Amino acid sequence: MSTYHAPLTDIRFALHDVLQVESLFSTLGFDDANRETVDAVLDECARMCEAVLAPLNRIGDEQGVRFDKATGAVTTPDGFKAAYDQFAEGGWTGMSAPTEFGGMNMPHAIGICLEEMIDAANLAWSNFPLLSHGAVNALRHHGEDWQKEVFLKPLIAGTWTGTMCLTEPQCGTDLGLLKTRAEPADDGSYSITGTKIFITAGEHDLTDNIVHLVLARLPDAPAGSKGISLFIVPKIQVARDGTVGERNAVRCGAVEHKMGIHGSATCVMNFDGAQGYLIGQPHKGLMAMFTMMNTARLGVGVQGLGLATRAYENALRYARERLQSRALSGAKLPSKPADPILVQPDVRRMLLTCKSLTEGGRLLAYHAGSLVDSAELAADDAARKEADDLLGFLTPIVKGCLTEWGNECTYHALQCFGGHGYIAEHGIEQLARDARITTLYEGTTGIQALDLMGRKTLQLQGAGLRVFLGMIERFCAEHANDAALAEFIEPLRAKAGEWQALTRSIAERAAADPEEIGAAAYDYLFFSGYVALAYWWARSVAVADASSRPETFKAGKRETARFYFTRILPRTLTHAAAIASGPASLLSITDEALDS
Ligand SMILES: Cc1cc2nc3c(=O)[nH]c(=O)nc-3n(C[C@H](O)[C@H](O)[C@H](O)COP(=O)(O)OP(=O)(O)OC[C@H]3O[C@@H](n4cnc5c(N)ncnc54)[C@H](O)[C@@H]3O)c2cc1C
């Protein structure tokens, strides 16, 4: 079975040393989020993840959720409900929610750290509380006062959970195709009819009520994505005064059998004239849903990170224990029948790839988490806008890159185990299967890439990119005369320049041919992700060197940064070359020739 020990030393290094969140939190008015409290919260969450959630990971995979066709009920694997009750009673469901509605008002940046540990411990289980965060955010920003009053408290307390109901059989990425209908009723509510598929936590036995946030069309809706509205549809009806009534006309019709996250309920949901309430303005549902989706996109990016950390921890332990072959330069452990595989350069390549992508990725994700706080609470408009621009730019990078890297790391970790990784005993194949969904739901990697390239870069004229390039420029200027950092500063400065030039050249070519955007998007996403990580690695070395941390820790950061700069950052060369080649090599081949 795979184990999980929360990497608290690196989590603290990222939060306190590199991001210096304590001073940020006090500027933003989080008076209770001092270092002592944050550390206590991290310790407690780590304990729960290691002792309660991680041991259920294998059980969830083996049992899966069970569906009763006669009643539409879904039963979660053994132990999931008890763990959820403990989680909700401990206040974890409301950790970064406002105190006004019963939350703890911890910064979002801390919420992201907790999510990393929870996801690593048990990804399938983590999906039950995950979407409640998004529902809370959508309601906070777009709900009417009575809706906040009635729905936020139980969602934050965890006595109810939330869902996000977008997908329909004919409507996945392209939400303009959705058909679910909403008819106005005499009492001001709406009657919702349609079928949603793939709904995470659509039905389960963890809470009494489930609050579905459903996209549907009003009778006078314009066609396409401009005619979509958002509705709250509780499983058990809830009146405007909060009174809980009858069972609503919404029912789970089936659960999907899938490659991974077997313990997560992926449901077909049939709405058959179910009572719902409009959230926000008619036909403006996508905007409200985007509030929820952005929260969820960061959350899914962190799922990739969590799985990568767990995969790395297990692969490293195994590589130390597994004795096979000798080091090429001669025996390292002559008294043993063979050396540990850790001495082999190829095994180290795989492990260091995981270490560099996870520790760098952690900073990328936590920084984005801190921007959620700054975008909402920074003192002046300019600072809030700057944080929001950067957050918008980084969100597809966090979702797209961290989930693809999560898959890459679970792949490398499995490879380190050899054939023992392919069999179920060590639990590594489960991590690889579970990781696969993260690049698909909440918008595939291709869609994240288009969002980054099209909307966040070209439409917004590179507003977020400019902020990030400014951070790199200031860092490089600050360390211009630091000889110990020169090996990182020069390549980082050069890559930042290439990033800017690449963006400009895509924008120019896209003005003449829009296909350039689609052809460049994926490679641009990864070019951006690798340069962003180069910045965080260079900064990690600078911060570690200046700290009082042990020499082994400093050396670990410096050597991993060296590995990153020499063996991972050059991947940008391939991405830049692919972008330069333009759309011709993708579009010139005819459809007939594809199978000739
Ligand atoms: C386990 C699981 C849980 C899920 N949970 C939820 C949930 O809780 N709520 C919910 O509403 N949905 C949920 N989904 C649905 C999920 O979000 C969709 O599967 C996903 O958005 C992709 O849609 P699709 O599967 O229809 O693929 P399609 O949209 O058919 O896409 C197929 C392929 O075409 C590509 N593609 C499509 N359009 C474009 C384009 N314009 N440009 C470039 N490439 C494109 C995609 O990137 C993808 O590679 C879940 C799915 C799964 C499997």
pLDDT of residue 292: 75
The pLDDT tens digits of the residues spanning 399-432 come to 999 999 999 999 999 999 999 999 999 999 999 9
Q: Which two tokens stand for residue 554?
A: 């400093």
Question: Residue range 54-60: average pLDDT?
Answer: 98
The answer to whether residue 162 scores a pLDDT higher than 80 is yes
Mutate-to-test residue for ligand 1 from 441, 525, 587, highest number of ligand atoms within 8 A of CB: 441
Residue 73: which H helix or E strand, with range?
A: strand 73-75
347-356: pLDDT as tens digits: 999 999 999 9
Q: What is the pLDDT of residue 243?
A: 96
Tokens of 325: 């072959």
Q: What is the pLDDT of residue 118?
A: 98
User: How many Å lie between the centroid of ligand 1 and the Cα of residue 128?
Assistant: 19
Segment 203-228, tens digit of pLDDT: 999 999 999 999 999 999 999 999 99
299-312 per-position pLDDT tens digit: 999 999 999 999 99
Question: Which residue is closest in CA terms to ligand 1's atom 12?
Answer: 167
pLDDT at 134: 84
The predicted structure's pLDDT at residue 294: 82
List alpha helices for 16-172, DSSP H: 21-28, 35-48, 56-63, 80-89, 108-121, 123-142, 145-147, 153-157
Give the pLDDT score at 568.
98
For residues 96 and 108, is the Cβ–Cβ distance under 8 A?
Answer: yes
Residue to substitute in 444, 455, 525 for testing ligand 1 pocket (most ligand atoms within 8 angstroms of CB) = 444
Which residue minimizes the CA distance to atom 21 of ligand 1?
A: 443
At 97 the pLDDT is 92
- Atom 26 of ligand 1, residue of closest alpha carbon: 172
Residue 1 has pLDDT above 90, yes or no: no
**Residue 593: what pLDDT?**
95
pLDDT of residue 295: 81
Give the CA distances from residue 257 to residues 23, 64, 292, 353, in Å, rounded to whole numbers and listed in that order.
Answer: 47, 9, 26, 32
The runs of H, that is alpha helices, within 255-380 are 285-321, 345-377
pLDDT digits (tens, 9 = 90+) for 372-390: 999 999 999 999 999 999 9
* pLDDT tops 90 at residue 168: yes
Q: What is the pLDDT of residues 532-563, one digit of tens each?
A: 999 999 999 999 999 999 999 999 999 999 99
Q: At what angle do helices 108-121 and 285-321 cross, to 10 degrees?
A: 50
d(CA 212, CA 215): 10
The pair of structure tokens assigned to 595 is 């199978």
Distance 292 CA to ligand 1 centre (A): 16
Distance 431 CA to ligand 1 centre (A): 21
What are the pLDDT digits (tens) for 173-207? 999 999 999 999 999 999 999 999 999 999 999 99
Closest-lying ligand 1 atom to the alpha carbon of residue 163: 8
Ligand 1 site residues (CB inside 6 A) read: 164-167, 172-173, 198-200, 258, 266, 437, 440-444, 446-447, 450
Taking 80 as the threshold, does the pLDDT of residue 291 lie above it? no
Atom of ligand 1 minimally distant from the CA of 258:
1
Phi, psi (degrees; rounded to nearest 5) at 270: -100, 120
Give me the active site residues, please: 442
**Atom of ligand 1 at shortest distance to CA of 521?**
43
Report the pLDDT value the prediction gives residue 289, as an integer from 0 to 100: 83
pLDDT tens digit sequence for 134-143: 899 899 999 9
Average pLDDT taken over every residue of the chain: 96
Chain centroid to CA 403:
7
What is this structure's pTM? 0.97
Q: Please, which pLDDT band fits residue 293 given cuts at 50, 70 and 90?
A: confident
